[in-house]
Chain A
Amino acid sequence: MVGGKSFLDNLAKIYAIYTGGFIIFVIGLAIAEQMGLSNKMIGYTFMGLTIALYAFIGISSRTAKISEYYVAGRSVPPIFNGMATGSDWMSAASFIGMAGTIFGLGYDGLAYIMGWTGGYVLLAVFLGPYLRKFGQYTIPDFLGARYGGHAARTIGILAAITASFTYLIAQVTGVGIIMSRFLSLDFQVGVFVGLAGILVCSMLGGMKAVTWTQVAQYIILIIAYLVPPVTMSQKVTGFPVPEIMYGQVLQKIDAKEKVINADQKEKDVRTLWKAESDKIAADIKGLPGTLDAKKADLQAKLAALPPDAPAADKEKITKAIAGLPKDPADAKEKWEAAKKKADTQAKEIKPYLQPFARLDMKNMLALTFCLMVGTAGLPHILMRYYTTPSVQDARKSVGWSLFFIFLLYFTAPSVAAFARNEVLSNVIGLPIAQLPQWMANWGKVGLVSFKDINGDGILQFYELTIGADAIVLAMPEIAGLPYTISGLVAAGGLAAALSTADGLLLTISNALSHDLYYKMINPKASINLRLAVSRTLLVVVAVISAYVATFKLTIIVELVAWAFSIAAASFFPALVMGVWDKRANKAGALAGMWIGFLTCVTYMVGSRFYGLDIWGIKTISSGLFGIPLGFIVIYVVSRMTAPPSQELQDFVESVRIPRGAAKEHEEGMSTGH
């Protein structure tokens, strides 16, 4: 049985066999493809098999022990906790979107690479080992114990749920997109199939099941991520280590960009974009009249259609009317975005390698900082360090976590570089009629689009738009690999989204069932009742998140970025000061958490919707103000009020040393099966 003693003793062997089996399966599928297995069948086989596998692990890890349900029985060795944290951490955005972000932003996109890894250093030295020593079940648990009473715990619950829920919706959306693309299912259906995949992993076995599933998911996602760039590197440079070889590709990109900037036809396209920008500017200036005119124009066209006109024509105009901005304010926002794009495309390409070409230095520093602190403040990551057998293991485990994340993150810039080189060297300048097949394939789902605006029949740089998500997903086709590898990449993306969703779902339902219900409402609840409440909440939260995801709100992606700043500004200062400042007390912590949270949210909403601007800091880096303020407020208010009791000071003292760390909790042992 998964999670039992013989399982724990043979972890390395079991997962080695699993990895080997998976590789053989992929090779077998590639052979079947040569023999004529259809793409659709390959998609179904990958999705079906991997989800069945996760379900198998989830079901055989079922448990009735509280400590297994909440913290995997504190039996996860550091390396495996590292892998589990890796897949818990790497979401659909890391797997599918990050290389694309660097592809588009060049040097400035590296803020994400550094920010999402450097946070682990903060976690390793400021929080991880101390949380393990504290040894309870959730992050609000720590706030409750350290600052006394329910007030700090309540803010902890609120912050944990706010940060995790937006993040969860993004993962469920990611699952829906992958399912719908590779299985040609309806998006809504895809979301609910994915949901079943998430629930079956977490419901019966809680943290224990999620941990062992996440390890399995990590192995799939890392294989899937590495295969295409390794092949690509071999093809382009003759040596299959993309992380080393892409240096020369960077030089090629730089040279090619200069050629494109000097090309006369490219200059023509830029001039056309300048004209487009001026046209949009006039439209914005003429609001609301211009919007009404556009609408009237389309309606007149619709009315002018002869009664026997094909339905498609009618539908096209109706759609265009529906696609118009709904009011002048909406029009202003949409058209300003369009103008911004046109303005960018009216200028020369900014060098890929040049620092601060797209994001100024101030914002790059601020973004990197917020992502780092946010990483160290996300509850679904922090709670993973409760699961190791000892404090020493928790310390090592942070190192292994970052190592496994590093394998993907330090490859991502090479994926971006190979893709950009391919586009600049082998796609731009081709006659439109001879564009490669992968562009048509990804054009169908709207990730690649082009428009021959100067009408010369040849593709210029600014006639092409590539969505960030296309880079990783299209890489196998760009590298000329069989469709099996595309299926593998999709399975990897699915693993990344599912594993993160599992961790988040558990964080939310634990905050509700453990912190709110058990600790605050009904402390006398029996173990069976607690588990029943937790499982019910898991299903409820999952269904709500899937329901919200079906609306495909565009704001979600933005909200995920906000979640980092919120976690950074509300959680991080109170957690760190709880360990590092013995004098920090309840009043200080409450004031610090509220002020950090409110400052952060005020700047977010203010800068996003009401033109608030301090030093030109962008909305995504809103935590920049809340984080230091949180620390200062905790420090000052604590010193203005009475010191914490001797008991609490001893508690801080005890958290600082490994001795006496809780082993597997006694509670609930007798009911295990």
Chain B
Amino acid sequence: MAKELAGLDKQKLKDYWSYNVKLTTITMIIWFVVTYVAIFFAPELDKIVIFGFPFGYYMGAQGSLIVFVILIFNYSNKMNKADKDYGVEEEEE
């Protein structure tokens, strides 16, 4: 048995993992929508023009990228907090 698992509450480990799965799923859904759904509907989205940018084009060139950056930082903040909440964080050196 890996030494770091010793002394950890089984239920807590399970809860931690299902929290992670939930967060990952939400992240993946948003990731999917801003890229693939946005490509699929690009001709329709292009009818909306903001500041010269057809919206479909904007999503491909910049919009999806901004969402990606936010998604990763959001995931990292939430998981880093969850580590502590579920008592699985790294030991201080």
Residues of A within 8 A of B (CB): 107, 110-111, 113-114, 117-118, 120-122, 124-126, 129, 243-244, 246-251, 353-356, 361, 364-365, 368-369, 372, 390-392, 395-396, 398-399, 402-403, 406, 409-410, 413, 650-651, 653-654, 656-661, 663
Contacts and interface: CB of A to CB of B under 8 A. Distances in A.
B55 to A, nearest CB: 11
Given A114-B60, A114-B64, A658 B72 contact: no
B31 A118 contact: yes
Interface of B: 1-5, 8, 13, 16-17, 20, 23-24, 27-28, 31, 35-36, 39-40, 42-43, 46, 50-54, 56-58, 60-62, 64-66, 68-69, 71-73, 75-76, 79-80, 83, 88-91, 93
Contact of B40 (A124, A361, A369): A361
Nearest to B54: A353
Contacts of B72: 120-121, 124, 398-399, 402
B90 A391 contact: yes
Tell me what chain A mostly uses at the interface: helix, strand, loop, or mixed: helix
A368 B38 CA distance: 12
Contact of A659 (B53, B60, B71, B90): B90
Contacts of A368: 35-36, 39
Contact of B39 (A353, A365, A661): A365
B65 A650 contact: no
A410 B69 CA distance: 12
Contact of B76 (A244, A395, A406): A395
B75 A660 contact: no
Contacts of A391: 83, 90
B51 to A, nearest CB: 5
Given A113-B60, A663-B93, A247 B51 contact: yes
A248 B52 contact: yes
A428 B14 CA distance: 65
B80 A117 contact: no
Contacts of B50: 247
Contacts of A663: 93
A355 B46 contact: yes
Contacts of A658: 83, 88-90
A361 B60 CA distance: 13
6 contacts: A248-B51, A251-B52, A355-B43, A392-B80, A398-B76, A406-B65
Among B2, B17, B31, B88: residue with most chain A CB under 10 A:
B2
A247 B57 CA distance: 10
Give 4 nearest A-B pairs by CB, closest first: A247-B52, A660-B4, A110-B60, A395-B76
